[in-house]
Structure 1
Amino acid sequence: MARQGFVPYLLGNDFHRLAFVEFGNPAAPAVLCVHGLTRNGRDFDILADSLADRYHVICPDLPGRGRSEWLRDGALYQPPSYVIALAHLLAWLNKPVAWVGTSLGGICGMMVAAAAHTPITRLVLNDIGPHIPAAALGRIRDYMGEAPAAFPDLAALEAHLRTVHAPFGPLTDPQWAALALHSARPVEGGGLALHYDPAIAEPIRASVPMDADLGAIWTAIRVPVLALRGTTSDLLTEATLARMEEDGAATHTVPACGHAPALMDGPTIAVIRRFLDGA
């Protein structure tokens, strides 16, 4: 059963609230699950429920997403701001954590794991690595720009998600319905919008897509890493995954997925659990 909470964090000269849901016994070892660019913490409900018998699983909504407060300045929607917010959550937890990060959530995880005295003990990177091709970043910029401002009902919003997030993999109808439910917010005058601040796209739209090199961060990471890749991913290439494996990461390819695997299928959850268990 998911329990809701908030932690305050200071960004610039303003305090905001970071929302999260948690599963399991708070006294158990912690697993922090951080979502991708336009998503929210409820994406991890199935994974978190599967781990809750042994772990305290915390799934935040990054700033501007889900129940977390929107930022006044859209230019702040960038990884350093997210890491500041997540650092407040880590301070509130006040214990070591394993980190599961999808895409943007994985970038934040790498940044925290590379820091001295990091609280991260193990790092699962879901379809993200030290090199991101410009073409993939351009695709993300384009689909964010094409998202409708509103939908007439939940069915229309779900149909949109099934299209833009088809690379998540072969999800069941109930899984798509749950994603849609947690991806919707009511808008004034009727209808529904995607559950994030449209301004999160501002930094992406203002930039010219070019290859992103996170190599300096990657080489500073000293904790065990599990790298997951969707078979047709354009964000985490086979070459980058091979480099990560050469550098000591455990790797696993998720079939029938692109960017990024939804982490809702039993076999992938089993791989993550074995890694978290230290097996």
Structure 2
Amino acid sequence: MQAGRLRYLLGAAFYQLAWTEWGPADGAPGDIPVVCVHGLTRNGRDFDALAQALAAQGRRVLCPDLPGRGLSDWLPDPAMYAPPVYVGALAHLLARLDGPVDWVGTSLGGICGMMVAAATGHPIRRLVLNDVGPLVPQAAIARIQAYLAETPRFADLAAVEAHLRQVHAPFGQLTDAQWGHLAHHSARAAPEGGLMLHFDPALAVPIRARPPEPVDLSALWELVSVPVLAIRGAESDLLLPETLAAMAARPGVRVAEIPAVGHAPALMDASQVALVAGFLD
């Protein structure tokens, strides 16, 4: 594993995008890189288990931290925290790779993947949408707004882990080691002492600025023509069963439902890793 950084231009300033990279720099012969993009308040280290497994197969895997998350720079204006900005930053990483990629996107990362795959001349060969689709229901938006309402501070890493176990319980039955891994990479030192979550609290501002309403991405989805694996947590409130069924009716779309999981499957379990790796093989 190694760390990577690049500078991207946004408005009148440059910012740094950070990522974690696994596997050989050029990948195995015939393989193409895999780009894994995380959810709203998460970071690229969520994909460590998947990235290690793919790297063991000879794949090169890059797991970026979206702007305002993890080790990537925070942005000066909350209004800048929006999918088009994230895709613009990620486009610099794609330009550096300068060739085809496979894309694994959880929630927001899947929305970014759809945006890239809908663009003319895009580099995506295969697309994994982890618990996200062309319609995000109002109830899911309301839930997201609710957990973004607070910016908690924690006395120690154990308190961070306890918080994550509660807020992200829908991830499923993770092991103690997996929860500990998420906590370790989800915490940063708070200026006033103690710990805070490893994202800019300002990213909640544009999300909470309006009443919760459903998000219709069907026009974007209609432009996606690459092979897709759509994964749904069986108890998810964000990707509903009827939305998954409609996605499955499209040629080239494979679907899978993960039992006893909500939003979103953590892609840490061996069976979930094998599911994604098999699709990308």
- Provide the TM-score with structure 2 as the length reference: 0.97
> Who is 1:271 aligned against?
275
Question: Which sections of structure 2, spanning at least 5 residues, go unmatched?
Answer: none
> Who is 1:13 aligned against?
12
User: Retained in 2: the 8 A contact 1:7–1:92?
Assistant: no
Q: Distance in 1 between matches of 2:218 and 2:42?
A: 25
AA of the residue aligned to 1:7: L
AA of the residue aligned to 2:24: N
AA of the residue aligned to 1:236: L
> How far off its partner does 1:153 sit?
0.6
2:261 maps to 1:257: yes
Work out the percentage of aligned pairs sharing the same amino acid: 60
2:193 maps to 1:194: no
SS of the equivalent of 2:158 reads helix
> Who is 2:34 aligned against?
31
> Who is 2:217 aligned against?
214
> How far off its partner does 1:81 sit?
0.4
Q: Distance in 2 between matches of 1:74 and 1:131?
A: 24
> How far off its partner does 1:255 sit?
1.3
User: Retained in 1: the 8 A contact 2:151–2:201?
Assistant: no
2:141 maps to 1:142: no
> Who is 2:70 aligned against?
66
The Cα RMSD (Å) is 0.8
* Larger deviation, residues 163-172 vs 207-216: 207-216
Matched residue count:
275
Q: Distance in 2 between matches of 1:179 and 1:266?
A: 17
What's the CA shift string for 1:138-182, capped at 9, x where partnerless?
10010111341x101110011000000000010000000010000
> How far off its partner does 1:59 sit?
0.1
Q: Which runs of 4+ in 1 moved over 2 A?
A: none
> How far off its partner does 1:268 sit?
1.1
AA of the residue aligned to 1:201: A
Question: Which sections of structure 1, spanning at least 5 residues, go unmatched?
Answer: none
AA of the residue aligned to 2:23: G
> Who is 2:134 aligned against?
130
Q: Return the match for 1:172 from 175, 183, 188.
A: 175
Q: Distance in 2 between matches of 1:188 and 1:76?
A: 23
Q: Return the match for 1:95 from 94, 99, 109.
A: 99
> How far off its partner does 1:188 sit?
2.3
- Provide the TM-score with structure 1 as the length reference: 0.97
